[in-house]
């Protein structure tokens, strides 16, 4: 091998090494965090199941106009859903959360004022959770067992706080983030859900979006289609009861 050829080979090897190193480094650091928290059951993104269940979730309500419209569409398709409510709004519209519960849906804690948790001391986060549990209890006589942090932000302290408050932290399927809060258009929301739907999905939507009716319009297309595909729509707590471990899954199939 000539010196020049050797140089070229070395360059290729070096480039390959650098590429593989940078590929590892560019993997999101929280991808590792996800499997860590997911295996321990500390945080749920979706639920592995062999059954055709999907959980719709609606954040940031209650809203006196949009929430009842969403409830109406859900009822039309015998769909149960989970509403992650904001405590301050629960105090303003207690009749709406009572309606959610009366229709068989589930309530989850979504903080009291929807602040950015990354800028709050843990004691303030704790206060946000407690005030919301109290607001929901005041309105309905029950306390939720699910919690979703605003924007999905979490850290070790928030995970521990959630556990010690007996609240299961629930995020959403990464392939089912509809971004309906940004009003991307009804068809964008519809295709996001329909193109990606699979067993055990937790779909992220919002029942309080300023100046947008896209969520409810999208639901009118999504629900009948998923129903045609054989899906049933359940609360997050119910979806969790259908979780299968990989071992169990194998036994079921043989
Ligand atoms: Zn939110």
Q: Which range is least confidently modeled, 8-17, 32-41, 111-120?
A: 8-17
Distance from the alpha carbon of residue 81 to the mean position of ligand 1, in angstroms: 16
The whole-number pLDDT of residue 10 equals: 47
Torsion angles phi and psi, residue 96, rounded to 5:
-70, -40
Mapping DSSP onto H, E and C, the string for the chain reads CCHHHHHHHHHHHHHHHHHHHHHHHHCCHHHHHHHHHHHHCCEECCCCCCCCEEEEEEECCCCCCHHHHHHHHHHHCCCCEEEEECHHHHHHCHHHHHHHHHCCCEEEECCCCCCCHHHCCHHHHHHHHHHHHHHHHHHHCCCCCEECCHHHCCCHHHHHHHHHCCCEEECCCHHHECCHHHCCCHHHHHHHHHHHCCCCCEEEEECCCCCCCHHHHHHHHHHHHHHHCCCEECCHHHHHHCCCCHHHHHHHHC
Compute the residue count for the chain.
254
Distance CA 81, CA 105 (A): 5
42 tagged catalytic: no
Domain 43-253 has CATH 1.10.8.10: no
- Kindly tell me the sign of the dihedral angle through the C-alpha atoms of 202, 126, 124, 66: positive
Q: What mean pLDDT is predicted for residues 67-77? A: 98
Q: What mean pLDDT is predicted for residues 86-105? A: 98
The whole-number pLDDT of residue 14 equals: 43
Rg, C-alpha atoms of the chain: 22
Distance from the alpha carbon of residue 88 to the mean position of ligand 1, in angstroms: 13
Burial of 143 (0-12, 13-18, 19+ CB in 10 A): middle
247 tagged catalytic: no
- CA distances to 107, 109, 141, 166 from 135, in Å: 12, 10, 10, 17
Distance from the alpha carbon of residue 113 to the mean position of ligand 1, in angstroms: 10
Domain boundaries, the chain: 1-40, 43-253
pTM: 0.85
The whole-number pLDDT of residue 211 equals: 82
Question: Catalytic one among 105, 110, 114, 206?
Answer: 206
Torsion angles phi and psi, residue 179, rounded to 5:
50, 35
Distance from the alpha carbon of residue 60 to the mean position of ligand 1, in angstroms: 5
Residue 33 pLDDT level (bands cut at 50, 70, 90): confident
Distance from the alpha carbon of residue 204 to the mean position of ligand 1, in angstroms: 10
Question: Catalytic one among 42, 59, 110, 247?
Answer: 59
Q: Is the pLDDT assigned to residue 18 strictly greater than 50?
A: no
Distance from the alpha carbon of residue 173 to the mean position of ligand 1, in angstroms: 15
Selected residue with higher pLDDT from 197 and 9: 197
């Amino acid at each position: 091998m000539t010196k020049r050829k050797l140089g070229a080979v070395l360059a290729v090897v070096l480039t390959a090494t650098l590429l593989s190193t940078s590929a590892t480094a560019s993997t999101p650091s929280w991808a590792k965090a996800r499997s860590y928290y997911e295996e321990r059951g500390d945080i749920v993104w979706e639920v592995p199941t062999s059954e055709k269940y999907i959980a719709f979730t609606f954040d940031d309500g209650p809203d006196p106009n949009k929430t009842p419209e969403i409830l109406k569409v859900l009822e039309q398709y015998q769909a149960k859903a989970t509403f992650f409510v904001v405590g301050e709004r629960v105090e303003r519209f207690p009749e709406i959360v009572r309606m959610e519960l009366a229709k068989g849906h589930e309530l989850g804690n979504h903080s009291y004022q929807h602040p950015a948790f990354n800028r709050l001391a843990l004691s303030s986060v704790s206060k946000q959770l407690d005030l919301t549990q109290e607001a929901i209890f005041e309105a309905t006589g029950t306390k939720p067992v699910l919690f979703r942090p605003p924007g999905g932000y979490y850290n070790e302290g928030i995970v521990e706080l959630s556990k010690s408050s007996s609240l299961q932290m629930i995020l959403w399927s990464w392939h089912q983030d509809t971004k309906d809060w940004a009003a991307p258009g009804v068809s964008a929301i519809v295709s996001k859900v329909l193109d990606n739907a699979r067993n055990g999905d937790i779909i992220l939507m919002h029942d309080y979006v300023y100046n947008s009716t896209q969520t409810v319009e999208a639901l009118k297309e999504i629900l009948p289609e998923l129903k045609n595909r054989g899906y049933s729509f359940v609360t997050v707590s119910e979806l969790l009861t259908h979780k299968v471990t990989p071992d169990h899954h194998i036994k079921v199939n043989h």
